[in-house]
Structure 1
Amino acid sequence: MPKPSSISEKPHRSNTSEESCAQRPHQIVIVGGGIAGLEIASNLPKRTGRTSIAVTLIDREPAYVWKPMLHTIAAGTSDVSQQETSYVAQARNRRFVFEPGELKGIDRQGRKVYLSPTEIAGRRVLPERAIDYDTLILAIGSAANDFGTPGVREHCLMIDSRSQAMNFNREVMARILETVTARNTLNIAVVGGGATGVELAAELIQLADVSAYYGAAGLRDQINVTLIESGPNLLGAFPDRVAIAARGRLEELGVTVLTGARVVAAEADCFRLADGRQVSAELKVWAAGVKGADACAKFEGLELTRNNQIVVTPTLQTTVDSRIFAVGDCSSLPVGDAGKPLPPAAQVAHQQASHLIRHLPRWLRGKELPTFTFRDFGSIVSLGGYGAYGSLGQFGLFTGGFLRGRVAQLGHILLYRSYQSQLHGFWRGGLIWLADMINSRVRPRIRIPD
């Protein structure tokens, strides 16, 4: 593993370039405005002290939604307009520059990132561009892994991003209207028994229950939700007690849970399983597996894993270029004697962001970076209004403790509000929480189609 390095290393530029760099702020470019990227962009400028920097955040979306909330946007049990953070507004409030666009490639020798042209409604509004950097932070997240399964890309929806969640919501709302009008049955199948799949299945049941309040009486009996998992249990990354409790609750709600069921093909009206069974589904969701975002394949020269994630050192720098960092789901950091990488989880992304926010300013002044240490605070899976289950992890008091009911739901809420506080500050974050509480009382409990 390369030795941790500081900014004082000899750079790969000419003397003329170095002289011009000395006359301008140090250019920090962050690609990806997710949990880690947006937190770094929002907090790094105020932490640099005497160091002169300019922070630029690049993302193809106009706004950010906390990834663990995407399934609620997809199901329509949360309104995206109330949950999203506008990048332009956040940049104004937190003193960074937002550059809309999708990463096309990186020139490591010239220290430039290239962005593809940006189109809106089929019209090109921004040309292909190049942005200079002195330090590059890659935080482009992850995507569901279809493992090359035939038909997935053609017939399945995914909810890895704000746009995908909104697209799924439009589709499910249209399908529900058709179902109510025709008085037939809507079969929905979700592949992937991780947190996203489990939480989405529960939210879809809640959508049906709440819809009855707005006139769709009997909708619960017209919707069949099936959750398909190839492994022996749901929530494979969680303790067995959490997985068993979550499965039991889903089945009580009427969700059909299939474990040990490997999907070998997706077709227009069904999933085909390895044992020959077919699972009928007019609406199909793929939430199985995790891989690095497709953009990772464009990073020529960087070390990647088989799952398309960027291999980093314990200082979160890439193994081949100390001026490029990778954090969050797009990175792979082997830890422990077995060298097992950290999981692609929100708490990992948050802790890595906090690490860079704390230590990058010293690195820019020529100090060495300390190694990153992950602390497992546990994890929680929320089944919407039907309960929550979680564990306390392997750090602190009550190691491995089991949470359920209101305590677990409160923990899930506090995780979200804590992240909002990291982005907006304590008082502004508190006002956002208050506004959400008011909206929950005066606005519809589900998204009503226009």
Structure 2
Amino acid sequence: MQSKFIIVGGGAGGLELACKLGRKLGPEAVMLVDSRLFHIWKPSLHEVAAGTLDVHQEGLSYQMLAHDNGFTFVYGPLTALDAQQRLLTVGAILSEHEEILPERQIRFDKLVIAVGSTSNYFGVPGAAEHTISLNATEDAERFRLTLLKLLTLAELKQDAGVDVVIIGGGATGVELAAELREASGVYAAYGFRRLKAERDVRITLLEGAPRILAPLPEKVSDAALKLLRERAVTVVTATRVTAIDERSVTAGDTVYPAQIVVWAAGIKAPDFLKTLGLPTVKSGQLDVDGTLAVKGFDYIYALGDCAACAGPDGKLVPPRAQAAHQQADYLLETFLREHKGKPPQNKPYEYRDYGSLVSFGQTTSVGSLMGSLKGLSWFVDGFVARMMYVSLHLMHHQAVLGTVRTGVLALARFLIKRTTPLVKLH
């Protein structure tokens, strides 16, 4: 097999690049490789975990996206790379020890690695074994099914409940805590009649920094803390988790009972990147220059969480969806200019921070919007912030589905929500 442009990783940035490039150049020139069959917007995984979003309705088939956007989809994980020969190996797909797809090798002219990130446990004992991290749809589904089982058991027993501990007060941890509180009240309305949400679903959020949402303005952090406390979420800051076992989380001198533990305290690049023979930095990310090319290879690029890209100020671009979106557009311009025989772009990629929004359930959000002047930002909250948060998801869908289909899909989901339970009950 051979393709001019191969993109490995169908997350927000990788998929958008494949769709936009495929619409211009066609399936003979553009190929997307991913180890999963369906795409879901990663910032919505906390809703899948809480049961307020059905992954089977939300997921988009890569094969369908490939057909509609003019690229070729290859199903399987990247297992090896021969950078000098421009040859990558896609691993076999097995089902119950039966080989469904064999190992394949593909030659390329240009390669883009966009494999995202995974959890960084920082060596905390028991973290890898006894926590769930919302890295992928299967993680969110595992959390949801575990929660549903525990709620069912709590309903059968008097004076029982569910203790949920979320480690990490960044956007993922805060959004999950808020979504869980809202969802627990909905579960109580669907047959769990003995369940009192605030009493029986006990949610604790642990954060090592002095405040939650530490990278965001203090006003956003304070508003988020107020909203969580109004929802009876216990928030403990400036605390360091030292051990986790099957039933508890230890932080300093305090032991928190826990039947479900979510790890949202940090991310790192996937470990396999270090085996590809490409330069990496201490965090394991691929070391790229200002054009997003991996250093030493002018035909291999990286974008998103797996790329260590320094801005003009020397600071690394943050691992955020808007960065991956911007980098995808930058590489799209790079590749199209080359395809048309035009000179390369005359300036390196520069990250632009448009602000951050944090979801607090289905009705409200908080966040900050960045102005065109350096250091200028506006605080937003309530319904307006919620609508802006929803628009981010729609903008991603518009990039991969087009405007008309995104509008139809949004309308269909609105109607479906009127005819189905507010939470997934099976």
The interval holding the TM-score normalised by the smaller chain is: over 0.9
Q: Is the 8 A contact 1:28 1:53 kept in 2?
A: no
Matching residue of 2:180: 204
Query: Deviation of residue 142 (structure 1)?
Result: 0.8
Query: Deviation of residue 364 (structure 1)?
Result: 3.3
Matching residue of 1:101: 76
Q: Is the 8 A contact 2:28 2:71 kept in 1?
A: no
Query: Deviation of residue 295 (structure 1)?
Result: 2.8
Q: In structure 2, how many angstroms separate the alpha carbons of the residues matched to 1:336 and 1:266?
A: 40
- The structure 2 residue matched to 1:150, chosen from 102, 106, 125, is 125
Q: Is the 8 A contact 1:211 1:219 kept in 2?
A: no
Pairing 1:49-88 to 2, within 5 Å after superposition:
54-88=29-63
Range moving further from structure 2, 394-403 or 101-110: 394-403
Q: In structure 2, how many angstroms separate the alpha carbons of the residues matched to 1:334 and 1:225?
A: 37
- The structure 1 residue matched to 2:170, chosen from 194, 204, 223, is 194
Q: Is the 8 A contact 1:229 1:260 kept in 2?
A: yes
Matching residue of 1:6: none
Query: Deviation of residue 441 (structure 1)?
Result: 1.2
Q: In structure 2, how many angstroms separate the alpha carbons of the residues matched to 1:393 and 1:173?
A: 39
- The structure 2 residue matched to 1:137, chosen from 112, 119, 125, is 112
SS of the residue corresponding to residue 425 of structure 2 reads coil
Q: Is the 8 A contact 1:242 1:391 kept in 2?
A: yes
Quick one: which amino acid aligns to residue 309 of structure 2? Answer: L
Matching residue of 1:358: 333
- The structure 2 residue matched to 1:250, chosen from 197, 221, 228, is 228
Distance 1:254 1:121, change over 3 A: farther
Distance 1:129 1:48, change over 3 A: closer
Q: In structure 2, how many angstroms separate the alpha carbons of the residues matched to 1:262 and 1:398?
A: 31
Q: Does 1:414 align with 2:380?
A: no
Query: Deviation of residue 317 (structure 1)?
Result: 0.7
Q: Is the 8 A contact 2:312 2:350 kept in 1?
A: no
Query: Deviation of residue 365 (structure 1)?
Result: 4.2
- The structure 1 residue matched to 2:283, chosen from 307, 315, 327, is 307
Query: Deviation of residue 25 (structure 1)?
Result: 8.1
Q: Is the 8 A contact 2:38 2:60 kept in 1?
A: yes
TM-score relative to the length of structure 1: 0.90
SS of the residue corresponding to residue 106 of structure 1 reads strand
Matching residue of 1:166: 141
Range moving further from structure 2, 72-81 or 350-359: 350-359
Q: RMSD of the alignment, in Å? A: 1.8
Deviation digits for residues 297-317 of structure 1 (CA, Å, limit 9, x no counterpart):
2221x2212221112111111
Query: Deviation of residue 293 (structure 1)?
Result: 2.1
SS of the residue corresponding to residue 110 of structure 1 reads coil
Q: Is the 8 A contact 1:310 1:331 kept in 2?
A: yes
Deviation digits for residues 232-284 of structure 1 (CA, Å, limit 9, x no counterpart):
110112111101100111011011101111111111111111x2211110111
Q: Does 1:90 align with 2:65?
A: yes
Q: In structure 2, how many angstroms separate the alpha carbons of the residues matched to 1:48 and 1:60?
A: 24
Query: Deviation of residue 173 (structure 1)?
Result: 1.5
Matching residue of 2:376: 399
Matching residue of 1:324: 300
Q: In structure 2, how many angstroms separate the alpha carbons of the residues matched to 1:284 and 1:313?
A: 38
Q: In structure 2, how many angstroms separate the alpha carbons of the residues matched to 1:36 and 1:136?
A: 14
Distance 1:329 1:78, change over 3 A: same
- The structure 2 residue matched to 1:42, chosen from 19, 27, 50, is 19
TM-score relative to the length of structure 2: 0.95
Pairing 1:333-348 to 2, within 5 Å after superposition:
333-337=309-313, 339-348=314-323
Quick one: which amino acid aligns to residue 64 of structure 2? Answer: A
Q: Does 1:382 align with 2:336?
A: no
Q: Is the 8 A contact 1:392 1:398 kept in 2?
A: no
Distance 1:26 1:369, change over 3 A: farther
Matching residue of 1:276: 253
- The structure 2 residue matched to 1:263, chosen from 238, 241, 245, is 241
Q: In structure 1, how many angstroms separate the alpha carbons of the residues matched to 2:134 and 2:124?
A: 17
Matching residue of 1:16: none
Q: Is the 8 A contact 2:3 2:107 kept in 1?
A: no
Q: Is the 8 A contact 1:376 1:395 kept in 2?
A: no
